[in-house]
Amino acid sequence: MSQTLNQMRRNCQRARDRMSTARSQHWAFGAFNLDDEPTLLAVAQAAKKLNAPVLVEVSQGEVDDIGLDNIRDLVTNTIQTYGIEMYVNLDHSPSVEAAIRGIEAGFEFIHIDVSQADHNASDETIVAATREVVAYAKLTGALVESEPHYFGGSSNLHTEQIDYEEIKKTFSTPDGARAFVEATGIDTFAAAIGNLHGKYPVPKMLDLKLLEQIRNALDCNISLHGGSGTPGHYFKDAVKIGVSKVNINTDMRIAYRLALEAALAANPDESSVAKLVNKFVIPAVSKIVEEKLSDFNSAGKAIVEF
């Protein structure tokens, strides 16, 4: 089921308007990684229960496994089935070409991150690639997100401690953020204020004073990547400051795995893993999504239109 260009433009304009609303009303979209169909259903059920607007997102690994057009169709069908407000984000797209494919597939949100493919990419390379994606995104009106350097961590359960003195060296600065936004024309700036991909032995700590300074320096949207393992009170304060999007992945993956392992152990004679996933895994992941949506103040904020 392919979308027409007019449909893509209408969806992207709506997403753009809703991001503006989120900022003005002090709530944030939860952006939840879509690993497979059960994960998508878990997000959809949480969104339906709480009447919350959501994003589902895929990185290059999921794109390779599922396919851009399949992802778009899965999400479109889920929106219609559940009657929810949901958009799609291409997360950490590693090249201009990959980002363009996401735009052409009708994704409303595009995150261009060439530093994923090359952690040592120069400032000039990152700015040039981002500007190219911003220009092409005018085709549909998709919102473009980026950051000026590599964002650390990975979407796994880490065993090492967080070295905050080292991480602080890569924190965003108000002047740096403003310069990058002005140089690229992006819609959303991915801020680094203590957030880090993955989950660690200790909870993460966000520098909210720095976030306020960045918010005051920018006119565009602000997102937070690496939201897993972060105490909810940080998110509640961050949305009050003006964050409009928070990415969650590892918390969901851990809940998925633990629920599946427990279900398999408790049901050794059940050969249909799909039944166990539906009965045990989806509710476990959905519970995580509900908790995040409450922290993001997005419960009750959905507007459903067809």
Residue spans of alpha helices (H) in 37-83: 37-50, 60-66, 68-82
Of 34, 81, 49, the closest CA to residue 291 belongs to 49
Calculated CA dihedral for residues 120, 124, 126, 132, nearest 10 degrees: -150
Of 7, 144, 11, the closest CA to residue 87 belongs to 11
Any idea which residues carry the catalytic annotation?
91
Instruction: Give the long-range contacts of residues 118-124, CB within 8 A, separation 24 or more.
Output: 119/150, 120/150, 121/150, 123/148, 123/149
Q: Please name the helix (run of DSSP H) or strand (run of DSSP E) that holds residue 157, with its range, or none.
A: strand 153-157
What's the rounded Cα separation, in Å, for the pair 285 and 299?
17
Partner residues linked to 224 by β-bridges: 191, 246
* DSSP helix/strand/coil, 33: strand
What's the rounded Cα separation, in Å, for the pair 18 and 86?
11
What's the rounded Cα separation, in Å, for the pair 274 and 36?
12
What's the rounded Cα separation, in Å, for the pair 140 and 126?
22
